Structures are given as structure tokens and as C-alpha cells.
């Protein structure tokens, strides 16, 4: 059984249905009011850390990090908007999305004209609540279904936002899962969105499950799983880990992994990093998918790939941000993300890690003519002329010490897992030797 296969994960963790386990975690995290800082992120990290060895870092507000400053910490206890007839129109207790993130404390009675600039809606989806946040500009506001906004009449409105913006800290969590080598794979997900499932909770749940598996199997690379608020969290982490970044060999930002669309992989800024090749190869065999070149919009690959770091970090997602109507709205909910899509993302991610883990070069130890496989019993019960036999032929033919297993998989159009299996069998029959150790 392959260490980086989903069957192994299932056996290892005693989880019958990984997709459902991830969806259950999403359900638990969904009601928490997260933002860039505050108790919502802490509670999220606490829940993730029940099953994953997570170290949580607190970085004080006001700390300079690269070109940025850690903002004040925001927490909200109560937020509501009452109409002229005294009826509640929006209440934090109904949905975390009703209050604009980082709203300053507010207690006011306002006319509709005064209130109107503080209200946000989605005219094209009149029943959905939009998600808005204003971390770097002092403001307050409410997000409403457009239908509610349209029904507002002249009169006096009452606003109450019992929030605090104070010196506190930014929280991020990190799980370091040591491998045989100090060389690292960085896997990162943002943790700063309130009740949104595809956008942030799907990535968190995938890393949570992957991390639990990686903590229990042997692996070549050291895995660093990062759970941090988007942008400022990644920037803070980069500022505090600059001296260790040289160890990072591969990386993925994991996000938007639970919607029903096909998988999309966005290449690193380098465009030809090993992770870019590994992901493209896996997805070619996985099913319908899309590959995109790097662009400096999106998630924290923008920070990891910035020219001063230029890390080999791509972005693994399904439908990219802004390209599904539910994006940043109350419709990105528990029904929008499915256990099947989450499970499918997991299978593909494990296959990418499987490539990274087993990618190496070999040398054919019987390179003059074809070695006589039948005499050696290398094939075992695998059929002559079948996929494994073809993979062995390719591995023997190309293993001159220069071509790697991924080179061979690409050239033969066979799945990497098959090529690796062929190489393992040939090695155990002394027909092949790894080039470096
Ligand atoms: Zn977002």
C-alpha cells in the first residue's frame, strides 16, 4: 500500500470516509466569528490542534513585519441594526457575515441617508449576505440581503456594534512534522474568514487531515503546515522565519478545495518548479482540471512568491476566487462544499506529495541490452505487456542517471505511482540503484 495513498490515510487514521471527516470539521468551525485577528482565529487553531501538534504564535499589534504593521486586535460581542419600527434587520447572532469585519465600536441613531453608506448587499443575488471586511481603514458597516436593503423606509435607525479594536496580537498556528531530511514542504491555508466554507474552511480541513496522516507515517521531507490569516499572517510568518526559508523545497497554498468544480492548479512564480511539474503531472492523470500560470492576485502565494523570497509555492484549489457566484457571500456555506469534492481534493493532494516524496534518479545496473525480466521473476503476477511491465521497460530504458522518475512518467505518459512502483521492484531485484544515496 502506498504511504501517500488515500487507502493508507484511511487505515492510518481509522477514518472511514475522509471527505465526511473534513466536512464535519468544517461544520464545527463554521459558526466561529473569525477575522484577521482575535478570538475567532484562536478558537479555530485550538480546535485544529486537538488532533494536530500545532504551535500557536502570538505577534503583538504594532509589530513591524516587512513593509507592514500587525494591526490592532479586533473582537466583536454584539452587533445589530434596528429599523424605525424597532424590528431587527441584521444581527450578528443570525450570521457572522452581517457585520463588516473590523467595524469600530458604534452606538448611534441615524437617518436612512446617514446609514446607507454603511450598508452592503449583492443586487445580483438578493437573498445572499455579502462578506466584507475593513482591516486597514477605520469604518463600520452591515451586510444585508439586497431584498432587505431595498425594503428600508425613511426613519430613524438604531445601530449597535459592541466591538473592540485594541492592542492585542495576531495569531497563527504552525505544525512542524519532521521527516528524514531537513528539507521542507510548506503547506499553507488562511484562517481569517468568518462563516465561509470553501474560502478558508476547506483548506483548513484538508491540511488538518493531511497533517494528522503525515504525523503518523515516515516521510522524506519535513512538512510545515501553516494556518495563518491571509496576507498579513503570511507576511508576519515570512518576516519571522526568513532565516529558515532556504530549507523550503516545495510548497502549496491550499484553498477553495470543497466546491464541485474541477481542480485548478496555479503555478508558482517560477513556473517550472518541481511542484509545478508534479501538480501538472498528477492532475493530467486525475481527471478534468485546469492549469494556470502565476499571477499576483489570489492568496498567499503572492507573498511566498514575491521576488525577495521567490519560493517554489503554487496554489491548489478547485474553482478560483471570484469565479464562482457564491464567493465571499453567505452562499459559500455548508451545502456548497461537499464531502465528495473535499475527498477528491485530498486524493489529488496526496498524489502530488507522493511524487515529491519519491522523485529521484536511478541508474540501470544492467544497461547493455534489455535485462531478462522473466528469468528474475521481477514481474511477479503483473501481466506481460501490462502497464507495470511497460513502466519497468521505460524505467530501465531511461535510467542512465540523468532522468528522474518524474521525467520518465512525463515522457512515458504513465502515472508517477506506476513508474515508482516499477522502480521499486527493479531496485529490489538489483536492476536499479538510486543515483544519490
Ligand atoms: Zn476570501
CA–CA–CA angle 38, 43, 46 (5° rounding)? 130
Residue ranges in 127-231 assigned as alpha helix (H): 146-150, 202-214
Give the predicted TM-score (pTM) of the model: 0.96
According to the model, what pLDDT value does residue 2 have?
A: 65
33 alpha carbon to ligand 1 midpoint, in Å? Answer: 14
345 alpha carbon to ligand 1 midpoint, in Å? Answer: 19
DSSP code of 333?
S
161 alpha carbon to ligand 1 midpoint, in Å? Answer: 23
188 alpha carbon to ligand 1 midpoint, in Å? Answer: 14
Give the C-alpha separation, 298 to 257, whole Å: 14
pLDDT one-digit tens code per residue, 252-263: 999 999 999 999
328 alpha carbon to ligand 1 midpoint, in Å? Answer: 6
Give the C-alpha separation, 434 to 437, whole Å: 6
Residue ranges in 241-327 assigned as alpha helix (H): 274-286, 301-304
Provide the 10 A C-beta neighbour count for residue 182.
12
346 alpha carbon to ligand 1 midpoint, in Å? Answer: 21
69 alpha carbon to ligand 1 midpoint, in Å? Answer: 21
411 alpha carbon to ligand 1 midpoint, in Å? Answer: 38
Give the C-alpha separation, 402 to 6, whole Å: 31
Provide the 10 A C-beta neighbour count for residue 370.
12
199 alpha carbon to ligand 1 midpoint, in Å? Answer: 5
326 alpha carbon to ligand 1 midpoint, in Å? Answer: 11
229 alpha carbon to ligand 1 midpoint, in Å? Answer: 10
Give the C-alpha separation, 260 to 177, whole Å: 30
Look at the block and give the residue holding cell 474552511: 201
100 alpha carbon to ligand 1 midpoint, in Å? Answer: 14
Give the C-alpha separation, 143 to 158, whole Å: 15
193 alpha carbon to ligand 1 midpoint, in Å? Answer: 7
Give the C-alpha separation, 340 to 159, whole Å: 42
98 alpha carbon to ligand 1 midpoint, in Å? Answer: 16
According to the model, what pLDDT value does residue 4 have?
A: 83
According to the model, what pLDDT value does residue 236 have?
A: 98
Give the C-alpha separation, 408 to 420, whole Å: 10
165 alpha carbon to ligand 1 midpoint, in Å? Answer: 21
Q: Are 138 and 204 in contact (CB under 8 A)?
A: no
Look at strands 248-254 and 169-177 and give their pairing: unpaired
Give the C-alpha separation, 71 to 192, whole Å: 13
Residue numbers in the chain where pLDDT is lower than 70: 1-3, 437
108 alpha carbon to ligand 1 midpoint, in Å? Answer: 30
Provide the 10 A C-beta neighbour count for residue 308.
8
According to the model, what pLDDT value does residue 366 have?
A: 96
How many CA atoms lie less than 13 Å away from 29 in the CB half-sphere? 34
According to the model, what pLDDT value does residue 5 have?
A: 87
Host H or E run for residue 374: helix 373-376
Amino acid at each position: 500500500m502506498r504511504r501517500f495513498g488515500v487507502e493508507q490515510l484511511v487505515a492510518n487514521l481509522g477514518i472511514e470516509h475522509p471527505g465526511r471527516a473534513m466536512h464535519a470539521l468544517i461544520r464545527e468551525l463554521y459558526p466561529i466569528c473569525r477575522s484577521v485577528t482575535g478570538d475567532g482565529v484562536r478558537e479555530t487553531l485550538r480546535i485544529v490542534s486537538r488532533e494536530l501538534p500545532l504551535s500557536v504564535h502570538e505577534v503583538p499589534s504594532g509589530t513591524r513585519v516587512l513593509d507592514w504593521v500587525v494591526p490592532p486586535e479586533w473582537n466583536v460581542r454584539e452587533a445589530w441594526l434596528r429599523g424605525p419600527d424597532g424590528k431587527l434587520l441584521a444581527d450578528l447572532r443570525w450570521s457572522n457575515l452581517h457585520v463588516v469585519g473590523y467595524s469600530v465600536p458604534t452606538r448611534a441613531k441615524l437617518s436612512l441617508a446617514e446609514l446607507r453608506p454603511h450598508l452592503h448587499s449583492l443586487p445580483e443575488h438578493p437573498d445572499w449576505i455579502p462578506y466584507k471586511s475593513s482591516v486597514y481603514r477605520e469604518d463600520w458597516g452591515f451586510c444585508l440581503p439586497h431584498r432587505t436593503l431595498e425594503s428600508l423606509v425613511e426613519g430613524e435607525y438604531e445601530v449597535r456594534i459592541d466591538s473592540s479594536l485594541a492592542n492585542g496580537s495576531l495569531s497563527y498556528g504552525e505544525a512542524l512534522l519532521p521527516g528524514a531530511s531537513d528539507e521542507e514542504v510548506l503547506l499553507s491555508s488562511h484562517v481569517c474568514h468568518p462563516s465561509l466554507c470553501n474560502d478558508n474552511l476547506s483548506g483548513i480541513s484538508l491540511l488538518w487531515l493531511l497533517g494528522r496522516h503525515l504525523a503518523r507515517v515516515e516521510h522524506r521531507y519535513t512538512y510545515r503546515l501553516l494556518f495563518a490569516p491571509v496576507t498579513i499572517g503570511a507576511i508576519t510568518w515570512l518576516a519571522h522565519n526568513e532565516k529558515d526559508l532556504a530549507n523550503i523545497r516545495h510548497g502549496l497554498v491550499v484553498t477553495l478545495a470543497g466546491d464541485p468544480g474541477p481542480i485548478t492548479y496555479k503555478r508558482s512564480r517560477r513556473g517550472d518548479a518541481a511542484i509545478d511539474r508534479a501538480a501538472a503531472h498528477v492532475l493530467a492523470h486525475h481527471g478534468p482540471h485546469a492549469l494556470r500560470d502565476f499571477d499576483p492576485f489570489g492568496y498567499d502565494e503572492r507573498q511566498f512568491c514575491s521576488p525577495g523570497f521567490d519560493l517554489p509555492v503554487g496554489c491548489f484549489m478547485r474553482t478560483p476566487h471570484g469565479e464562482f457566484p457564491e464567493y465571499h457571500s453567505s452562499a459559500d456555506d455548508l451545502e456548497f462544499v461537499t464531502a465528495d469534492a473535499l475527498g477528491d481534493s485530498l486524493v489529488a493532494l496526496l498524489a502530488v506529495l507522493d511524487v515529491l516524496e519519491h522523485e529521484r534518479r536511478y541508474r540501470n545496473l544492467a544497461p547493455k541490452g534489455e535485462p531478462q525480466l522473466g528469468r528474475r521473476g521481477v514481474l511477479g503476477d503483473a501481466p506481460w505487456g501490462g502497464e507495470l511491465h511497460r513502466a519497468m521497460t521505460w524505467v530501465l530504458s531511461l535510467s542512465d542517471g540523468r532522468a528522474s522518475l518524474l521525467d520518465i512518467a512525463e515522457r512515458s505518459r504513465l502515472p508517477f505511482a506506476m513508474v515508482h512502483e516499477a522502480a521499486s521492484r527493479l531496485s529490489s531485484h538489483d536492476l536499479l540503484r538510486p543515483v544519490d544515496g
